[in-house]
Chain A
Amino acid sequence: MSDVESGPASNAHEYTVSELSGAVKRAIEDEFGYVRVRGEVGRLTRPGSGHLYFDLKDDKSVLAAVAWKGTAARWRFQPEQGLEVIATGRLTTFPGQSKYQIIVENVEPAGVGALMALLEERRKKLAAEGLFDEARKQEIPYLPRVIGVVTSPTGAVIRDIIHRLEDRFPTHVIVWPVRVQGESCAPEVAAAVEGLNMLEPGGPIARPDLIIVARGGGSVEDLWGFNEEEVVRAISESEIPVISAVGHETDVTLADFAADKRAPTPTGAAEMAVPVRGELIAYVDNLGSRQRNGLRNIYRALRDRLRAASRGLPRPGEILSDVRQRVDLLTSRLGAALGKALNAKQVRAANSLGRLNGILLRRRVADGQTQVTRLSARLAPALSRTLDQRSRHLDQIWKLANSLSHKNVLARGFALVTDADGALVRNAASVTAGDQVNLEWADGERSAVIAGDAPPKPQPRPKRSAEPDERQQDLF
């Protein structure tokens, strides 16, 4: 049994350790010359040599992994502990320690979900530190004089930014060149932001008053450098306001959270950075005319108010003349008033004096009585004298009346004819033959009868008989 057991063993080829190790190495390298392996990144070290050592593990096994310095630097995504990745490479052995390992050519995150989970975890951590606080956000200058752009000096991004700036507002641009993906991306971007902040105002290189951190679109892995903590801290601590424009609008990096403003694209960053010069020139011009109009309106309003007020204001001459007239009036009234007042006083004084003096009063009464007596004595003679005068006057009138009486006419030889009724017969026509008449002379009267008719010619007769009639009438 033992022979049977030991026989084949003794017949078997006997390797040296190195031979076996070499055989294993060849077998492994031939079989696993190119593999993809998925696992979580475990312990990760990067010694001074620059090579990258890490573990890939799942719930049961661990696989040692190494990435040579030159290879890892080219990676756009850098593995991190705890991240699930898919590593691509070849297996080999390390005979000196009886170990095998994978020489990694490339590492990718194992699905976006895993990466996003990591990103979210880091975001929470940095947010807890306050790096993304709104209070830290700075105002973007309205019109930056110098804009620092942290991006690749070649490619579409910087061209887009410069062209859009020139379209809107020609500006002094300083490009700080960086690599925008790969292992060196994050340290270069962080150094650029810090370096721009360290430029002295007035120094040989103009200090920007605005920084744009920009990168074109890409995968989450491509943009990963802008999620690195050092970039986030540099942007957050920048004294110069920062606009981030990393990737497309849907790509959000932690740099975007830290920046003062986030632009959806590099072109959008240029639009945020500067206003449109033509619009500003027009706006300033408009403000100029508005303030001129404003002043003109103020002036006009005040002038109108002044005019309105002036209309209501009497002229100074009018005020004076009015006053002067009142002075004149009062002056003239003053003299009269003084005299009147004096008189009134005098009268009152006299009255008071009279009332006070009884002797004077009694004398005035006595005087009155004497006057009454004297006038009574003169009353009777005056009355009789008046009667005499009136009687003489009557005699004179009577004499005049007599001198005018028809009796005197009769005395001169005329006769007065009256009819039976005693009425005066003034003309021949008023009597007819046979009429009884009475004739009166100065010495007496006699009756008579009219003998004949009136003459045939009535015309001359009245004329003839009219004469005495008229004469008689004239006498009266």
Chain B
Amino acid sequence: MAEKAGSDIAGMSFEAALAELEDIVAKLESGQAPLQESIAIFERGEALKKHCEALLKSAESKIEKITLSKDGSPTGTAPLDE
């Protein structure tokens, strides 16, 4: 179950992962979930958190300019000379 939970996280958007993590935190803070479920969602929450952190850390700046052909269709990219 944990493997399954992990595999779908890898493809999640930051937004979706963050939203689910927020849900899990709210659930755990309410203390309403049974222990078994609490542990399971906590593990998923940890995986979501790792995914979010990875997305945040991997962010890097890259600036490109599209090059256009005569008829105005894109042919590729080139660095933007500011």
Contacts and interface: CB of A to CB of B under 8 A. Distances in A.
Given A143-B13, A175-B65, A284-B18, A298 B28 contact: yes
Interface residues of B, number: 41
Interface of B: 13-15, 18, 21-22, 24-25, 27-29, 31, 33, 35, 38-39, 42, 45-46, 49, 52-53, 55-57, 59-66, 68, 72-74, 76-77, 80, 82
A156 to B, nearest CB: 10
A298 B28 CA distance: 7
Contact of A205 (B21, B60, B74): B74
B21 A287 contact: yes
B42 A295 contact: yes
Nearest to A299: B35
A143 B47 CA distance: 19
A267 to B, nearest CB: 16
Interface residues of A, number: 42
B63 A153 contact: no
B35 A294 contact: no
13 contacts: A158-B80, A162-B63, A169-B59, A174-B64, A174-B65, A175-B66, A188-B72, A204-B76, A205-B77, A281-B57, A291-B28, A294-B42, A297-B31
B64 A173 contact: yes
A222 to B, nearest CB: 22
A284 B56 contact: yes
B65 A143 contact: no
Contacts of A287: 18, 21-22, 25, 45, 49
Interface in A289-308: 290-295, 297-299, 301-302
Contact of B49 (A195, A288, A294): A288
Contacts of B61: 162, 165-166, 170-173
A177 B80 CA distance: 10
Contacts of B31: 294, 297-298, 301
A165 to B, nearest CB: 7
Nearest to B24: A291
Nearest to A303: B35
A159 B77 CA distance: 18
A174 B27 CA distance: 40
B82 to A, nearest CB: 6
A176 interface: yes
A173 B21 contact: no
A170 B49 contact: no
B65 A195 contact: no
Q: Top 8 nearest A-B pairs by Cβ distance?
A: A294-B28, A142-B15, A170-B61, A143-B14, A172-B62, A294-B29, A175-B65, A295-B42
A153 B59 contact: no
A115 to B, nearest CB: 28
Contacts of A165: 61
Contacts of B24: 291
B64 A175 contact: yes
Given A143-B15, A170-B61, A301-B31, A162 B56 contact: no
B54 to A, nearest CB: 10
A288 B66 contact: no
A281 B56 contact: yes
Contacts of A171: 59, 61-62
Contact of A177 (B28, B45, B49, B68): B68
Given A153-B80, A199-B74, A177 B65 contact: yes
A126 B11 CA distance: 39
Given A170-B61, A173-B64, A205-B77, A291 B18 contact: no
B66 A205 contact: yes
A277 B18 contact: no
A141 B13 contact: yes
A27 interface: no
B63 A175 contact: yes
Nearest to A146: B62
Interface in A151-183: 153, 158-159, 162, 165-166, 169-177
A399 to B, nearest CB: 111
